[in-house]
Structure 1
Amino acid sequence: MTRQKSTNKETCPVARSVDVIGDRWSLLILRDVFDGIYRFGDIQRNLGVARNILSGRLASLVEEGILETRPASDGTAYQEYVLTAKGETLFPVIVALQQWGERHLFARGEQHSSLIDKATGKPLLFMSPRTREGHELAPRDTEVKKPA
């Protein structure tokens, strides 16, 4: 079953984003590509997803300009799926999901993967919305301004 693209004129950026990347497989594909897994077969093995589902999600991510295909970097006949500039801007989304999961879905001391800064070898600081002056914002400190 392929996903149907939303045709409504949604004014909410979250709703439009969910239409593009908001299903389990698309997010996990993006996680894998950020982790350096680029080939169809490797992504399929890592996720355990059916070929038809993976093919559909990859096609959608390419159509949306989030991924693009290129010849395999090792010169073989394979192709790889790589992030576009638009796709790379999803990095904070994946990091935020990872950090939320680390905080709320693992028991104290339970092992899990960690995202590490290559330069320092240390985990990333927790991401949080901030004012232009650098002060952390809570949900109560913000409001959605809807178009008139």
Structure 2
Amino acid sequence: MTGPEDLSHRFEVESVERTLALVGERWTFVILREIFLGVRRFGQLVRNLNIPRPTLAARLRSLVDNGLLVRVPYAQDPERFEYRLTDSGRDLFPAVVTLMQWGDKHLPVPEGPPLVLRHQSCGQIVEARLLCSNCNQELNARNVTPEPGPGFGGAQD
């Protein structure tokens, strides 16, 4: 079995670093959070986030250019646009939820979580978990072993 010490060349194509290069800027995840919550318009984003307009415009442009959002004309005013998630953008939902849950646990406010998620199918408040796609057991840092994958850049024996 291959251990972490054998992955010395992983940083040549490391997935976390490549992803953070795209979404790691401070405002990106809070913009995505707002869009996941149904906010679609520039003015609403400015008000909700208290973000400078030029910063928001640049972040939205980057998210569109990188395929996480699409600009769609308003139905009532085709000269103005709203922003909607692409499939690629929707795939970041688990990351946003994980960050939210981590903050609720490790940086709590006295009143409790400021936002909870209700599962539409069963009606219950839920906590997201990362599960193995084969056996449905919960995954954590103690029960997984990193191994070189097909795109690994290091020398493989």
TM-score normalised by the chain length of structure 1: 0.84
Q: Secondary structure at the match of 2:84?
A: strand
Contact persistence 1:69–1:82 (CA under 8 A)? yes
Instruction: Please tell me whether Structure 1 or Structure 2 has the larger radius of gyration of its CA atoms.
Output: 2
| 1:54-65 matched pairs, under 5 angstroms | 54-65=56-67
Amino acid at match of 1:102: D
Change in Cα spacing, 1:133 to 1:119, as seen in structure 2 (3 Å) is closer
Contact 1:131–1:137 (CA under 8 A) maintained in structure 2: no
- Residue of 11, 16, 19 corresponding to 2:18: 16
Aligned residue type for 2:13 = T
Quickly say closer, same or farther: Cα 1:86–1:144, change in 2 above 3 A.
same
Q: How does 1:3-82 map to 2 (within 5 A)?
A: 10-73=12-75, 75-76=76-77, 77-82=79-84
Q: Distance in 1 between matches of 2:88 and 2:94?
A: 12
Measure how far apart 1:115 and its partner are: 1.5
Matches within 5 A, 1:84-103: 84-103=86-105
Q: Do structure 1's residue 106 and structure 2's residue 103 form an aligned pair?
A: no
Sequence identity of aligned pairs in percent?
Answer: 34
Cα displacement string for residues 13-32 of structure 1 (whole angstroms, at most 9, x for unaligned residues) = 10011001112200000001
Q: CA RMSD in A?
A: 1.9
Decide whether the 8 Å contact of 1:32 with 1:43 is kept in 2.
yes
Q: Aligned-pair distance for 1:93?
A: 0.9
C-alpha distance after superposition, 1:45-76 (max 9, x if no partner): 10000011101100100010000100114x12
3-state DSSP of counterpart to 1:106: coil
- Stretches of structure 2 lacking an aligned partner (at least 5 in a row): 1-10
> What is the Cα deviation at residue 143 of structure 1?
2.7
**Equivalent position amino acid for 2:58 in 1:** G
Residue equivalent to 2:4: none
How far the C-alpha of 1:137 sits from its partner, in A, is 2.6
Contact conserved, 2:74 with 2:82, CA < 8 A, in 1?
yes
Alignment match, 1:128: 130
Q: TM-score, normalised by structure 2?
A: 0.79
Q: How many residues align?
A: 139
Residues 67 and 133 of structure 1: is their aligned pair in 2 closer, same or farther, counting only changes over 3 Å? same
- Report SS of the residue matched to 1:141: coil
CA–CA separation in structure 2 for the residues paired with 1:138 and 1:36: 30
